[in-house]
Amino acid sequence: MSIVTLLPFIVLIGAMFLMTRSAKKKQQAAQQMRNEMQAGTGVRTIGGMYATVKEIHEDTVLLEVAPGVHAIYAKNAIGAVLADEEYNRILDGADPIHGDESIVPDDASSLTGDTAGDATETGDKADKIDLGKAETPADAEPAAEAEAATEAKDAKDAKDTVKADADAAKDEKKSGDDAK
């Protein structure tokens, strides 16, 4: 046999060796993580449940899934051992914001200073600019009635247009049937 015919088999065996080697390394790392687990640490199971380790046995782990609620899991069911800070953040549902970092506001109002914020909060009308005609209550009622009447007329016109289009389509269909 020539080396050219054996080359594909050699490449295939080498690829299989590399794949099994990386999988074996991952399994060993997971086993080491499970063996280093201690009582009181937070864990995530392979099913996605977060719990606190209470007792560790040879092949099983006693987990506290809620205050006073305990469950026994196989060691293989532990997906990750979490750091205390991360576990507490997940349980509290808090964002990972640290106290020493500056927080950027969502709007520019906090950047203008205290005096501008106070004027806005108190509703000081001297600083506000009137951009339109202020309506008195007497003017507002006829305007609202006129607007409602206009909307009703527009709705009626639209309905009439749709009806006329439907009638035209029916007439067109009838004339097409008669021509046959």
Per the CB < 8 A criterion, the answer to whether 55 and 39 are in contact is yes
pTM equals 0.43
**Average pLDDT, stretch 1-15?**
87
Radius of gyration of the chain (CA): 37
Phi and psi angles of residue 59, each rounded to the nearest 5 degrees, phi first? -115, -5
Predicted pLDDT of residue 52: 93
Q: Note the pLDDT tens digit of each residue in 120-167.
A: 555 555 566 666 666 555 555 666 677 777 777 777 787 788 888 888
Portion of the chain with pLDDT greater than 70, in percent:
68
Q: Note the pLDDT tens digit of each residue in 39-95.
A: 988 999 999 999 999 999 988 999 999 999 999 999 989 988 888 888 888 888 765
Secondary structure in 3-state letters for the chain = CCHHHHHHHHHHHHHHHHHHHHHHHHHHHHHHHHHCCCCCCEEEECCCCEEEEEEECCCEEEEEEECCEEEEEEHHHEEEEECHHHHHHHHHCCCCCCCCCCCCCCCCHHHCCHHHHHHHHHCCHHHCCCCCCCCCHHHHHHHHHHHHHHHHHHHHHHHHHHHHHHHHHHHHHHHHHHHC
Per the CB < 8 A criterion, the answer to whether 59 and 75 are in contact is yes
Q: Note the pLDDT tens digit of each residue in 101-124.
A: 666 666 666 666 655 445 455 555
Predicted pLDDT of residue 43: 92
